Amino acid sequence: ILEFANKHEIPVCPRGAGSGLTGGAIPVKGGIVLDFSKMNQIIEIIPEDLTATVEPGVITQTLQIEVAKYKLFYPPDPASAAFSTVGGNVAECSGGITGLKYGVTRDYILSLEVVLADGRIIHTGRKTLKSVTGYDLTRLFIGSEGTLGVFTKITVKLIPLPERIETLLVFFSTPQDAVKTANIIISNNILPRALEFIDKSSTDCIKGYKQEIQIPEEVNAILLIDIDGNEEAVKKEMSIVEKIIAENNPLRIIPAKSSNERDTLWEVRRAISPALYNIAPFKINEDICVPRSKILEILQRIAYINKKYPFLKIANFGHIGDGNIHVNIMYGNETRHGAEAKKMIEEILRNVVELGGTISGEHGIGNVKSGFLSLEIPPSELQIMKDIKRLLDPKGILNPGKMFC
């Protein structure tokens, strides 16, 4: 297909589940859509090698469930894991709630089978943990959003499945106390499986969306914490975490006493995205990421910027443990609201870069953020990226209109 498309200069757009948030799977130039939903076989799981090889259309959660039968764990865990594909995750270098402790998709990809724009098939990396032979082409293709090649086989690294998970939901009266608590936990050499932050705007939405979730009015920030590992390690770390929390002005600490209670606590986090539409009918979800030491400052800057745009409402939540905050800009039907939202986004992203952060922690660039790429990437580096694109796809047929304007 690619050989034919290249010969006739027909655009090709690879598509997994179409769950991305920056337009990566949308064929903006028309042409051929390569739908990988039926290319969904788990080819092999080799427990002694701690690897699995899959086709790109395998659902991420399906892979996690299958390897768990061998007491193994595939950590990358985007919010869309129940329906997104491994191939799509590799194309975007997806992150998720476990990123602080376990890393992101790129940390678990050992090798790729890739079809290039002209139809040639190449194999990058090896099915081994170590390989330093030549350039790391695997990393080049990860996060390339289908602009450099099309994945047809993916070998991933697995790790032992943690024995135990403990969960805490903590209410705070100020975001300062929540951020401080998160930073102290990490400073004590504890890396939670998940360390999530939810602000006041988000909690207010949840209360209106899920009546069974009881959040007192005085709550202005929430931390949701998972600690995992073996029984002894979890018990030790939980005692330290609970002590740290108690010393930093919590309003209430709610531990999960069972897996059902854990699911109930996590429902607070899962309810946010749909609940936000109680604020306004339209949403722009940015996935900024800053150094942890700058989290409070970026939240303060975002609040200041929001005051300039009184018709817009911002709700912040996300992976505070790795500095990845989802900034949700909610706006109404009026045309000027959408225009103001775009102006606000650029102002926020400029501040993120100024603080040493990135404009996209896990959602990718696609065609939604391509206009902002130059805020973070200097011209010399952008030119290198464009040169690589031109070398691998000289006719520009692979997912045109993505990554670069």
Q: What is the pLDDT of residue 405?
A: 58
Q: 25 CB contacts (<8 Å, ≥6 apart)?
A: 13, 14, 15, 16, 18, 88, 146
**Angle at which helices 295-306 and 335-354 pack, to 10 degrees?**
150
Whole-prediction pTM: 0.95
**Angle at which helices 175-187 and 295-306 pack, to 10 degrees?**
160
Q: What is the pLDDT of residue 210?
A: 74
Tens-digit pLDDT profile for residues 227-268: 999 999 999 999 999 999 999 999 999 999 999 999 999 999
CATH class of the domain defined by 164-271? alpha beta
Q: Do domains 2-160 and 279-364 have the same CATH topology?
A: no
User: The tokens 């854990």 sit on which residue?
Assistant: 262
Instruction: Specify the CATH number for 2-160; select among 3.40.50.720, 2.170.190.11, 3.30.465.10, 3.40.50.80.
Output: 3.30.465.10
Q: Which two tokens stand for residue 134?
A: 């030549």
Q: What is the pLDDT of residue 404?
A: 85
- Domains in the chain: boundaries: 2-160, 164-271, 279-364
Would you give per-residue pLDDT tens digits along the chain (405 residues)? 999 999 999 999 999 999 999 999 999 999 999 999 999 999 999 999 999 999 999 999 999 999 999 999 999 999 999 999 999 999 999 999 999 999 999 999 999 999 999 999 999 999 999 999 999 999 999 999 999 999 999 999 999 999 999 999 999 999 999 999 999 999 999 999 999 999 999 999 988 777 677 899 999 999 999 999 999 999 999 999 999 999 999 999 999 999 999 999 999 999 999 999 988 999 999 999 999 999 999 999 999 999 999 899 999 999 999 999 999 999 998 888 889 999 999 999 999 999 999 999 999 999 999 999 999 999 999 999 999 999 999 999 999 999 985
Q: Was domain 279-364 assigned CATH 3.30.70.2740?
A: yes
Between the CA atoms of 318, 320, 323 and 326, what dihedral angle is there, to the nearest 10 degrees? 20
